[in-house]
Structures are given as C-alpha cells and as structure tokens.
Structure 1
Amino acid sequence: MSAIAPATVLEGDFWPEPVRVLTVQMLGRRTKIEAVGTKTQQFYSGIFSEADLGRLRISTDAHRDFRGRAECFFLATEAHRVRFAQQFDPLFAVNTSQVDSLPHQIEAVYHYILRNPCIRFLLADDPGAGKTIMTGLLLKELKYRGLVRRTLIVVPGHLKDQWLREMKERFGETLTVMDRNVMNATWGRNVWQEQAHVITSMDFAKQDDVMATLGEVRWDLAVVDEAHKMAAYRYGDKTKKTERYRFGELLSRISHFLLFLTATPHRGDPENFRLFLDLLEPGMFANTDLLLESVQNRDNPLFLRRLKEDLRDFEQRPLFPPRHVFTKPYRLNDEEKRLYNAVTEYVETSYNKALASEKRNVAFALLILQRRMASSVRAIRRSLERRKSRLEELLSLGQWLADGGRLDEDELEDAPEAERLRQEEDLVERLTAAETREELQSEIQTLGELIRLARDAEHHEVETKLNELRKVISAEKLRETAEKLLIFTESRETLEYLVEKLAAWGYAVVKLHGGMNLDARIRSEHEFREKAQVMVSTEAGGEGINLQFCALMVNYDIPWNPNRLEQRMGRVHRYGQQKEVHVYNLVASDTREGKVLEALFHKLERIQEALGTDRVFDVIGEILPGRSLKDLIVEAIAHRRTLEEIVAEIEAVPNEEAVQKAREAALEALATRHIDLQRILGEDRRARENRLVPEYIERFFERTCRFIGMAIEKRRDGLWRVPSVPYALRNVSQEFKHRYGEVFHDYNKLAFDKQTARREGAVFIAPGHPLLETVIERVLNDCAQDVRRGAVFADTDGHLDGWLWFLEGELRDGANQIAGKRLFALFQARGSKELRLVNSSVLWDLKPISDTTEAAPCPAEDEVIAFAVEQVLETYRAEILELRQRDAAIKQKYGVRSLEQMSLESDAKLI
C-alpha cells in the first residue's frame, strides 16, 4: 500500500481503533508502522508483511471536504466542550455536586491534593471540617478526568451508612457494600474484582482470608477514614505492627492514589506518625528528625491539617460558634443507692474472679452490665432479667459458657450499633465466671435479689437522674422557647423509658437508634427538624446524622470511650450551627464511675480555660499518659485502687503539663493556620465567569435530545421531564457505568441549577450525570464523520470569514500518563496564514449552513498544529512543569536524605 504515509488514518484488525500514522519505514520486504489511536491517543508500533498490509484500510471518511452536517458538527463540538468542563471551571466538582463548599475544603482539594501528580495524601483536619465532602469532591474530579475507574473506601463499620448516604445525595455516587455476607454468598469468586466502587469496613478487610482476595485486585483510588487506627509502634530497634497497619501496607501496594482521613494522626508520638506516613510514601522519612524538619519548614507534601478555630466561611465568620459543656452532678436516692451498691459488688466480685481465671470475655460482659447500671434503673433491671433467664436455661441444659472464644474489642467497638448491641447482649446473657453447678445456682440466686432491688427502685415515683433532666429542661426554658433538645443514651431500654416520660410531660418526641435502617433514620431526622421538639438517640445519632438545627444536648449517660462523647457533640456542634451550643453531662457523684468522671470533667474545664478551646474531650488519653477513661473507671469498679487514689492521679497532673499535652495531642504544630481566602475568592469568581453555566447545559441538552429523537418535556413548574429513555441510550457499557453510573428508564423531575434541584427535590443534571453523558456519547458516535469532514457556518455579523480549527491538546509525562489536556479554537482568515485564539464557544454565534454543495479547499494542518503547540500548549506545559518540579524538589529533599540515612544504618548493622 504505497499510499500509506504520515497523517494517513488506517483501520484494521491489528488495532482496537482507527490510527493516525506517525512514521513508515521499510525493513526489507516488511513495513514498520508507528501510529497513534485517534480516540485514545495510545501509541502503536508493528511490523507488517505484504499480506498484512493488504488487510489494512485507509479511512475513507478522513478527507476534510466541509460537507458534514453542520448541526451534527455543532452538537459534537459542544459535546467535546462539555467533556472538557473542568478546563473552563477551576471548581468543577463544587459546581456539579449538591454541596456548598467552604474555603478550607476548596483549598484542600484544589490547592493541595490535586496538585500532586500521584496522590498519596493525609487529610487531618479537626472533626466537623467536612472530610467526607472533600473526599467526594476529589473523587468526582478524578473520575471526570478519567483518572479513576475503580474506588475502594474503607471506613469504621458504624460509619458505612453515613458514607453511603453522603456520597449518593451529594455527589450521585453509588457504592457497593462489601462484607462477610457478600463474600459468603459469592464463594469461589473474587467479588472485589467484580465491583468498581466499593465500601467496606476496616475490621472486616483486615482479616487474613479477606486480605488474600483483596490483594489480587488493583484500585485507582483508595480512601481510608479514621486512618490513624492503622497504627505501628517503635520499641527500641523493633517495630510492632497492628493487624490494621498490615492491612494499610497491603492497601498501599494495591492502590495508585491513596487518601487517608483522620482528625488524630499521631497523638503526640512522632515515631508513630512517621510509620503512619510510611504507608503513603514508604521511605520518605527515614527518621523523626527529617519528619519534624519538614513540619517546621511547612513543606511536607504528604499531609494537611487545619484546626477548627481557624476555619472561616467566605464572609470570614468562624464556622463554629462557642460550645459550653456543663457537668450536672446528682446523688442517688436510697433505693437507687442500695441497687447500685449491690450490682457493683456483684460485678466487682465476678470481674476479679474472671480475670484471675483469664476469662477476659466474661470480664468484658460484666463491665457491660455495669454500664447498664449507670444508664438507668430500667436498663439494668431488664439486662438482669434476661441474664437470669438465660443462665437458668443453660443450667437446665448443663451447657453454661465460661468464656466463649476470642473477642476483638476494637472490632466490636467499631461495629454498627445494631450489631454491637446484639453481641453485647449475647455476652451479658450467657457468659459467667461460675465454674460449677453450685456456683451458677448461687449466681442465679444473686441475680434474683438484684432484680428485686431494681423493681423496688423503679417503684420510686421519679428516678433521680430523670428529675435532673427535668431541671435542665426547666433551666433552659424549653417549653417557653420551643428550642429543640437532643438526648443521648447508650441503652435502648433507657431510650424507650425517656421517650415514654417525655411524651407524658407533653413534649413531641422522636427516637433514633441503630436498629433502624437508613431510610427510617433519615425520616426521624426530618421529623425532628420539622415537627418534634425532642429527640432521644442512642450512639447511632452520633454516626452520620447532622442535627445542627439543635443547640441543646444532654448526655443522659456518659460513654467510657471519650471519642464517642466528642462524636455526640459533633452532631450539633458543626458547620451550619447558628447558636451557641449547650451540652449537659449528667453524673451520679456518689458512684464509683461518677466520682472518676466528675474529677476528670473538672480537670478538663481548667485545661479548656487555659487552652481557649473546647478541644479537650478527645485527648483524655494524652492528658493522662498511658491511661484511658475506661482504664480509670474499671479500676474504680474492680476496686484495684481506691477512688481517692484514682482521683488523686487525675488531680496530680499539673495544669501546665496537661495543657501542653493537650496542645501536642491536638497537633497544633502540624496545623496550617492560614487559608488564602483571596485566592479562593478569585478562583470562585473565575469559575462563575468561565464555567459552562446551567443555562448553557440546559440549552445544549434540549437541542441534543431533539436531534437524537429522545422526547423531553417542559413541566408547568419549569422543570423538565424525560418520559422514556430509549433502550439504546440505556444500554451502556460497564466502563460507562463505572465512570458515570446507571441510566434509568425515565426521569420525572430534572433541573440544571443545583439550588433549584435541591429545593424541588429534582435530579440535578450537570457534566458527569449519566443521562447527560449517554446523550453526549450518542452524539459523538453519530456525528464522528461529520466532525472529521468539517462543516460550513455563516457569521451573520460578518466578522468571521475563513476557517475555524477546534483542537484537543494533550500533554503526557515520562510514564506516558496524561499530565493535562486542553480544548481550544483557532481562527484563520481566508487568504491568510495568520492564526489567533478565539473562544471555543464561537459556534453558538454562527448559523449552520445545511445546503452547501461546493467543497472548500482545506488549508494545510502543519502550520496550525505548530502554532497550537508553540503558542498554546507550550505555556500550559510550562505551568505543569513548574508544579511537577516543585513537588519533585520537595520529595527529593527528604527522600534522598532518607535513603542516605537508611544506607548508613544498614552499613552500621553490617559492621
């Protein structure tokens, strides 16, 4: 085929797409052809025999004769412009998602994370900063740029529902839940490979059999929430890696982009933090000195942290109003005190006996019983009744359990509430420290006496703690102001008890607990916002439900995990809260755990005053080195030490030392205190000026639907309706589904403005939505030949007379990865070789000419391409190169020195 020459477009079975020839070289009787795909820009090289050449076809539609259909050319060109929406909108994901982003969120995604050519990043902002939103923005940007096709999101089990809801509602992203039930139902198949966008829990994924299948799969982007739980610790020359850390090592190997999210990245331990960052960039920091140097120099390329005190909105107003936490101590009445003493003595005796026999699960179950006691009389009474009944049943069968196998307390803590409570109840009901039949009979008799005491206490007219709640309600003038109140409790029985009492007092009450599915929880949230004045919630209300319309909260019982206390407060003390928040902690001061809590809360109040921030509840473990709140309470209950000794230990920590430890634990040294608001405002202004505005997308979509024959109707309320999407448009590829999602049969309410869509509950149509994208795919396929042939338009104003060139420029890096793409238009006047840039939307100002018969001569392409490369792409290349060089310089600065340090350490070991 002597006609094959550079720029010839060929088709054949040797390539998956038409290719444009770059070079042709004779090698004896064979021909070497180097070419590039016209669709993917993929490079191809091959040596062909004469027979092979006979099977090639020169593309007949490659000739540019300007006889293409002008309407087709217009729609296809505009479809390309929509696909390049990110070029015109520097805040693309913000404007195509159902979010109103804040300055710090825009800065994190666009100024830090996306600036990395290979994203391996830790986002460590304070709680409430919106890390889920920032993740959604990043995912949307990367997916639309074609850089991410497979996504894995790893979260604590109890946060899966929150992530599913926010990704769907705000970003239109549908995630597939992967858990043990799914794996068991698909035995023999690697289900990780079958799904493109997956969410799973860390404690499920860390299991050996799960990691074995997960390790066979590659992910374009992996996101880990609460990533600090992937911890490793250094003791002398030895490193102890937790199971979660080993999972993190696997994830680092099988993921291209990797994003860690946490509010507590290292808890004041620099070596722990260095090992944690090693999961992102292994070997970047050989020792803590290099890491601390990068922190001091403010040039660490791996992480970003902002404190909530520094976060502002676009008007420079603080995002978080003040939060006031009050401890409300009370004393039990005589009946309650007798019950408490008896239950605590039973728990103390059985707990110590269980530990002495190394029956840790039994000990754990008894502590759960003590927490029920601290919750309410009803909660402990019902737990005792169930335990007695189950132990009697087991006694009759002669099958009582002394321990019941290995229990992972961390995994149970992170499990969804319904699962956690189910397992806890099972443990409380069936595990016992009794070793003989006589001991079990004696325990059952003791349980009967405790139940009698609980019933006596319940007969008291008003439980003391409930009366204390009533005092808080009265002090806050709830009835007069109609303010809303959120009450938290750990126990489902206590929840039902409070709902009954509050309803009897005349309040409209709604409840929320982990036994409700996601839809029911959303309905409860809506009812609380619109109708009810009081919500009573278990921990499920601290997980993924946002209640910033409420500013008054009561902790009816206090969780032993202070992170849960901070989580609870975070439901109301978050962005969008307009009032100062009041939080009341009810504490029985004449109980063992109450004395510990009261002493600790008083200490925290003094630290808070010195710090000038309320960020103290989640750093208790750092204020008391080597201790946790649970440790202190268990010691008090088990009588390992006297209450006086425990309280004295809390008081013994000097206030100055505690303040410094709180600052270190809050990672103030890592924080970026300045947010460049003027720069963000400038980008926001440019985005509004240059982006493809909703009205444009609406006009384009309507015009394209008419062209391809898909019915579209304008509703009376101004929204749009698509009564039926043709099968050909719904029958999309798996690749399409992975990138954009499913195309549905019909759409009853469509809006092109996100505020309208939110207000009317309509589907928001913007670049990236599957309905718009399938229409674009159809136009690009149907009009491909018209684009290659060219078309004729008329400028009725008479300003343009010549040729318009629409070009797509692409830059690739040394790894042949796309570094950037640009779409632009050039105008060449008739009879002139001079070229100039024009707005790529120019066709909207021209009139399509459909009846042209005379072919126009096609100007030479070489000069056009040369101009585009030198005048357009060279500037763009310089911008990207500068960013890449800056990133490389920082990584080289620490990476090379780390290699040198590791080399020295290896030499020393050899010597």
Structure 2
Amino acid sequence: MLAGACAASALISSDVGARLEDLDEGLRLSGLLPQPVTILAVLPHGPDAVTVTYQAGDGGLGQRLLYRADEPSLRIETPASRWQFDADPAEFRLAAEALRIRMAGLHDPMVAVSSSAVDPLPHQIKAVYGELLPRTPLRFLLADDPGAGKTIMAGLYAKELMLRGDLTRMLIIAPGGLVEQWQDELATKFGINAELMSREMISGLVDSNPFARYPVLIARMDQLARNDDLLALLDTSDWDLIVVDEAHRMSANYYGGELDTTRRYQLGQRLGAITRHLLLMTATPHAGSESSFQAFMGLLDPDRFEGEYRSGAHTTDTTGLMRRMVKEELLTFEGKPLFPERIAETVPYQLSDGEKHLYDEVTRYVREEMNRAERLGSDNPRARTVGFALTVLQRRLASSTAAILRSLQRRRERLEAKRQEMLNPRFSPMEDAMASLPWSRLEDPDELDAEETENLEEAVVDAATAAQTVAELDIEIAQLSELVDLAKSVNDSGEDRKWIELRSLLLDEPLLQSDTGPRKLIIFTEHRDTLNYLTRQIRNVLGRGDAVVTIHGGTRRDERRVIREAFTHDSEVRVLVATDAAGEGLNLQAAHLMINYDLPWNPNRIEQRFG
C-alpha cells in the first residue's frame, strides 16, 4: 500500500494543446504517433511552422512538419512528482501505523507494556523480558507463587511476540474452570481475541479442523486429553506458542521402574512436537516426589530428564528451564513487599467425650473394612475404590460431625438398596452397580482438580463396599446403623468443639472489624456437607442470610463470577464459605482473613488456597 502511494515513473499530460513555441529538445510529446515520442530537435520555419525530429518508443527515428493548426492535437507529457500521493489517505495512515507498530520493537524493547492495559510489576517484567523472550525456541516452566500474575506474564510475552512479528498462532490449554477467565483477560488487557473451543464449535465444524481454522484458540485440558479424535487433529496442527496453565496436572509416576502416565501427561508429551515455543505454568510444580517432578520436567526436555530419578545417582538440574519466585521475594518498584506478611496461626480445640468416642468407632469401622478390601487383592480395582472411599470417610470425620453423619446415612441407604438388588433373582454380580464406579479415575486421585475430586467422592464414598454377599452386607449395614445413631447423638448434643472455636472468631470484633468497616473472611472446607452446615451456622450467628455466600464444585461458572463480584464489591457480603473448587483460578484478593476448617492431604491444594 505504501509503495502504491508514490508513482515515480508515471507521466501526466497537459489538458491544453501544446504551442509550437513550447516544443523543445528532450520533451515527451503526444499526438504525433499513438504513443508518446521524445523530441530530438526542433527547426523553426517562420512564426507558424516547425520541423520536429523525434524518437519513437521502439527506438525508430522520424521527422514531421507541424503547423499552428496541429497545436490542439499536441500534448506535452510531464513526469509525475516522485512524491505524488494517489492512494486513499485513510488506508495510507492504516498502513503507516501497521509499519510503525511492526518496527516499534527496534526502538522500544518493551512495546507490549505500553500497548497493553496492564501495569506490570518488576518480577513480571523480569520474567517476560529477562527469562522468556531471550530463549528461542522456548521450553520453560513459570512456577511463581499463586497470586504473582502468571496470566499477565503469559499475555505480555504473547503480545510482545505478536508485535515483533514472531507469533500468529497461539494455543492456550487450561482447566475447564479457567478458560473463560483466560479469554476475558487476553481481550481486555492485551487486545488479543481468542476463540474458546466448545462442543458447539466442534460439532459445527464437521469437515474442518478447529486447530487449523482458528489462529488463537483456548481449549480445556481434559477436553483434549480424553478425546482421541481431537488429539489426532491436534497432532496435525502447528503453533508458534502453546501455553499450559495449571500444568502440574500433567503428572506421571514411576511404578516398578516403569513410567505410568496419565492422559493429561500424554497430552503434554504431544505439545513439544507441534509448537515452536512451549510455556508451562503452575504455582505447585513439585508434589513431594522427586521422580514425579523429573518426569514432569521431561515434558520440556525429555533428554535431560530421561529415566527414573534415583537419590544419590541423579540431580534434577532445571537451569534455563524454570523460574520460581515465592511471595516473600516479590517487590514493588519502590522495593517494598508486594504482599503483606502471611501470618499463620493454629487454633487448637479439644474433642468432647462424645466426639472422641465417635472418632474411635468410625476409625475402627474404617480399619476393619480396609482389611476386608485388602483381601480382595491388591490388583483388584474394586479394592482400590473401597480403600479410597473409606479414606474419604475418615477425612469427613475429621471435617465435621455433620459431614460424617450425612455420609454414614447416605452410605447405609446405598448399601440397603444394593442388598435389595442382590436379593432379586435376576441380579448378577456382573450387573453390580459398583461396576459403573469410575475405577480408572482412582489411579491417581491427586491428578484430579478440586471439582472433579468432589464429584468423584460423591460417586464413590456412598457405594463402594468390600461386601460380596447378602450376609456380609447385613453385617456392614448393622455397623453403619450403630454409627449413624452415635453420630446423630453427638450432632444433636451441640458439643461441636471445632464450631465453637470458629464461632468465637466470628464474634471477635477486633479481629473482624477495621477502621474502614467489616473485614471479609474466606472459610475453606473439603466437603460439601460441612459447607452446608457452616453456612447455616454462620448465618445464624451474623443474623443475616445475605452476609454469607458459597462456592462449591456444583456451582456453575457464571454463578461463580457473580458470587466473586458480590464478595469483592458488596460491603454487606462478609463471609465466603467454599470448597477447594474456589481455590483454583478465582481471584479473591478482597478477603482479609482465611480459615482452613479442615486441611486437604495434598499440599498443593493447601498452596492453592493460600494463592
């Protein structure tokens, strides 16, 4: 477009006929031949006639006598100015602006900062311009603490690559609960419009590959990992940059010297072959197993992290592949701590006699059923499911009396229904309802996100049993009935010592009041029954139902956004009670205090809550 705006070799004809006196050597003249000629000599014959010697366009020479009567048909051709502007002004300005932006990186090495709606912090600038951009091709793990703004870092990196002309195709892979947040932040903060891969999109592209059609695409991690057809299409695509959020879910473990990979891990293995730049992001890269961490880093450099890690024989060298900054290291431009000091305090409480008796009896039941499950055989998937269910049962016991009471009641009801099925003459063990339980999802429960864990626990804990006959079921149902009666007695007694301690915190004015008004409080629990119990109790203490909001695995994503906005901006909303589903991807910085009513066994989940 810029080149078309200037016409250096074009000719412009005069609209008025040439006079004989104007003809001179070197001029271009039209009217003698169909094409313009070049005048070589002019010989006057009095005032009204001249002889013109000329050269035609094909190089041939000619001569002609011209009179005054010929003047109207003659035109002198003048060269157009080399700066002649004949393009559309608006299009010229657009092209000039595009060229300016494309060349801006030569003069402004951080042009993405000035052209984005963000005010990056020092650690974010250092990550993008000191760690990511200098590496080409990129294979990197960004593992800063939760709350450090890894999404902003990834957006700045992508925007900078785009402005430098190094990125036209980008794929974002994130957990299902975060994809819409990614889409919003890319659009509002960086002006990057990304398509969200949905079932509707896939069904609408019968004969087309969505990975080839959309240059900037956001996909759900499990949507890809668990769909072989999509994986086949993904393998045929090519990308400039792939970003994986919450990448720690792409886990693998060594068993018996063999690497046991998950579907998510297999997805991660495919990515390096189809992209120039690969950026993994997680705040919890290490779950305590060095061999699993080395397998995870193998997604970035399979050669460096080949084979199983052995203590004393291997060292996990992540030089050039990883950056991790904890919150205490994050500073403002003034050198002040970015986050206030994290002050953790354990509030002790003593079980009542009734609670202690209930704890002992449920623990005894769990131990006996565990022993019976082990007799099924360690290779039996049913044994793993029963073991998982009983473990969850004991965790619910530690969470609250309300949670263990509801769990015991539901478990008894499900086993009674199973007993009736077994008494049916048409019942076959192959038709056992337990056959529909998600055995495969129990290979590594820590691989699941919080929402999936909630749903899995609900599906398994109430139905999984080692009993294989009606007589065995009768014994277990009788045990459950005794435990239900005991749990109901403790629950009705009002001697919930843990709740009594929490209530005292809620009534602590100096703790929950500030000069600017009431402080906001987040209470985390693993179990939905405990969440429902706490919500009722807290609303009674505060005297207002609208002061408490909740988020759990069953809360729709659009509802979560509404609840988050209310908790952040509505001064009347003081308490958010949430399961760990709220700890993944929701920005809840408006809270002043956080209480863990119970603790998950996975340390990564605890870290997500803090984030």
What's the TM-score, normalizing by structure 1?
Answer: 0.50
Residue type at the aligned position of 1:317 = K
Q: Report which of the two structures shows the higher radius of gyration computed on alpha carbons.
A: 2
Q: Using the alignment, how far apart are the partners of 1:309 and 1:368 within structure 2?
A: 34
Match of 1:390 in 2: 414
Which of 503, 516, 523 in structure 2 is aligned with 1:487? 523
Q: Residues 568 and 142 from structure 1, CA distance in 2 versus in 1: closer, same or farther, beyond 3 angstroms? A: same
Match of 2:558 in 1: 519
Q: Residues 468 and 143 from structure 1, CA distance in 2 versus in 1: closer, same or farther, beyond 3 angstroms? A: same
Match of 1:577 in 2: none
SS in 2 for 1:329: coil
1:467 aligns with 2:500: yes
Match of 1:715 in 2: none
Q: Residues 247 and 77 from structure 1, CA distance in 2 versus in 1: closer, same or farther, beyond 3 angstroms? A: closer
Q: Using the alignment, how far apart are the partners of 2:244 and 2:226 within structure 1?
A: 16
Q: What is the CA deviation profile of residues 662-698 of structure 1, one whole-angstrom value per residue up to 9, with x for unaligned ones?
A: xxxxxxxxxxxxxxxxxxxxxxxxxxxxxxxxxxxxx
Shift of 1:430: 2.3
Does the 8 Å contact 1:395/1:440 carry over to 2? yes
Does the 8 Å contact 2:512/2:520 carry over to 1? no
Match of 1:58 in 2: none
Q: Residues 285 and 167 from structure 1, CA distance in 2 versus in 1: closer, same or farther, beyond 3 angstroms? A: same
Q: Using the alignment, how far apart are the partners of 2:475 and 2:231 within structure 1?
A: 46
Q: Residues 97 and 447 from structure 1, CA distance in 2 versus in 1: closer, same or farther, beyond 3 angstroms? A: farther
Residue type at the aligned position of 1:99 = V
Does the 8 Å contact 2:196/2:219 carry over to 1? yes
Aligned 1:328-477 pairs, distance under 5 A: 328-358=347-377, 359-398=383-422, 400-401=432-433, 404=437, 406-409=439-442, 412-415=445-448, 417-475=450-508, 477=510
Does the 8 Å contact 2:503/2:541 carry over to 1? no
Aligned 1:890-909 pairs, distance under 5 A: none
Residue type at the aligned position of 1:108 = A
Does the 8 Å contact 1:156/1:415 carry over to 2? no
Q: What is the CA deviation profile of residues 156-202 of structure 1, one whole-angstrom value per residue up to 9, with x for unaligned ones?
A: 45554554454454335455555889768978865444444334454
SS in 2 for 1:154: strand
Match of 1:720 in 2: none
1:126 aligns with 2:145: yes
Q: Using the alignment, how far apart are the partners of 1:67 and 1:293 within structure 2?
A: 63
Q: Residues 414 and 153 from structure 1, CA distance in 2 versus in 1: closer, same or farther, beyond 3 angstroms? A: farther
1:217 aligns with 2:241: no
Q: Using the alignment, how far apart are the partners of 2:472 and 2:180 within structure 1?
A: 44
Match of 1:66 in 2: 84
Shift of 1:241: 5.9
Does the 8 Å contact 2:144/2:323 carry over to 1? yes
Match of 2:17 in 1: none
Does the 8 Å contact 1:158/1:414 carry over to 2? no
Match of 2:272 in 1: 252
SS in 2 for 1:260: strand
Q: Using the alignment, how far apart are the partners of 1:94 and 1:415 within structure 2?
A: 36
Match of 1:629 in 2: none
Q: Where does structure 1 lack aligned partners over 5 or more consecutive residues?
A: 1-6, 10-61, 571-911
Q: Using the alignment, how far apart are the partners of 2:204 and 2:449 within structure 1?
A: 21
SS in 2 for 1:560: coil
Q: Using the alignment, how far apart are the partners of 2:287 and 2:482 within structure 1?
A: 45
Residue type at the aligned position of 2:390 = L
Q: Residues 434 and 142 from structure 1, CA distance in 2 versus in 1: closer, same or farther, beyond 3 angstroms? A: same
Does the 8 Å contact 2:551/2:581 carry over to 1? yes
SS in 2 for 1:408: helix
Q: Residues 509 and 285 from structure 1, CA distance in 2 versus in 1: closer, same or farther, beyond 3 angstroms? A: closer
Q: What is the CA deviation profile of residues 628-653 of structure 1, one whole-angstrom value per residue up to 9, with x for unaligned ones?
A: xxxxxxxxxxxxxxxxxxxxxxxxxx
Shift of 1:91: 2.7
Residue type at the aligned position of 1:340 = Y
Q: What is the CA deviation profile of residues 51-94 of structure 1, one whole-angstrom value per residue up to 9, with x for unaligned ones?
A: xxxxxxxxxxx995604258444554345335545455433333
Shift of 1:538: 1.2
Identity %: 43
Match of 2:598 in 1: 557
Q: What is the CA deviation profile of residues 487-509 of structure 1, one whole-angstrom value per residue up to 9, with x for unaligned ones?
A: 11112222222122112112622
Match of 1:618 in 2: none
RMSD: 3.8
Q: Using the alignment, how far apart are the partners of 2:420 and 2:306 within structure 1?
A: 62
Does the 8 Å contact 1:157/1:416 carry over to 2? no
1:154 aligns with 2:173: yes
Higher relative contact order (CA 8 A, sep 6+): 1
1:140 aligns with 2:140: no
Stretch deviating more after TM superposition (378-387 or 189-198): 189-198
SS in 2 for 1:430: coil
Does the 8 Å contact 1:142/1:148 carry over to 2? yes
Q: Residues 431 and 188 from structure 1, CA distance in 2 versus in 1: closer, same or farther, beyond 3 angstroms? A: farther
Q: What is the CA deviation profile of residues 388-410 of structure 1, one whole-angstrom value per residue up to 9, with x for unaligned ones?
A: 22222232222644564633236
Which of 538, 548, 553 in structure 2 is aligned with 1:509? 548
Match of 1:262 in 2: 282
Q: Residues 265 and 390 from structure 1, CA distance in 2 versus in 1: closer, same or farther, beyond 3 angstroms? A: closer
Q: Using the alignment, how far apart are the partners of 1:423 and 1:390 within structure 2?
A: 16
Aligned 1:45-124 pairs, distance under 5 A: 64=82, 66-68=84-86, 71-72=89-90, 73-74=92-93, 76-82=95-101, 84-87=103-106, 89-124=108-143
SS in 1 for 2:484: helix
Shift of 1:419: 3.9
Shift of 1:534: 1.6
Which of 319, 322, 326 in structure 1 is aligned with 2:341? 322
Q: Residues 341 and 188 from structure 1, CA distance in 2 versus in 1: closer, same or farther, beyond 3 angstroms? A: farther
Does the 8 Å contact 1:158/1:415 carry over to 2? no
Does the 8 Å contact 2:139/2:277 carry over to 1? yes
Does the 8 Å contact 2:112/2:160 carry over to 1? yes
Residue type at the aligned position of 2:278 = L
SS in 1 for 2:493: coil
Residue type at the aligned position of 1:254 = I
Q: Residues 343 and 282 from structure 1, CA distance in 2 versus in 1: closer, same or farther, beyond 3 angstroms? A: closer
Q: Using the alignment, how far apart are the partners of 2:556 and 2:104 within structure 1?
A: 38
Q: Using the alignment, how far apart are the partners of 2:279 and 2:158 within structure 1?
A: 10
> Aligned pair count?
507
Match of 1:197 in 2: 216
Q: Residues 176 and 516 from structure 1, CA distance in 2 versus in 1: closer, same or farther, beyond 3 angstroms? A: farther
Match of 1:567 in 2: 608
Residue type at the aligned position of 1:552 = L
Match of 1:45 in 2: none
Does the 8 Å contact 2:249/2:447 carry over to 1? no
Q: Residues 568 and 285 from structure 1, CA distance in 2 versus in 1: closer, same or farther, beyond 3 angstroms? A: closer
Q: Using the alignment, how far apart are the partners of 1:214 and 1:473 within structure 2?
A: 51
Q: Using the alignment, how far apart are the partners of 2:116 and 2:93 within structure 1?
A: 27
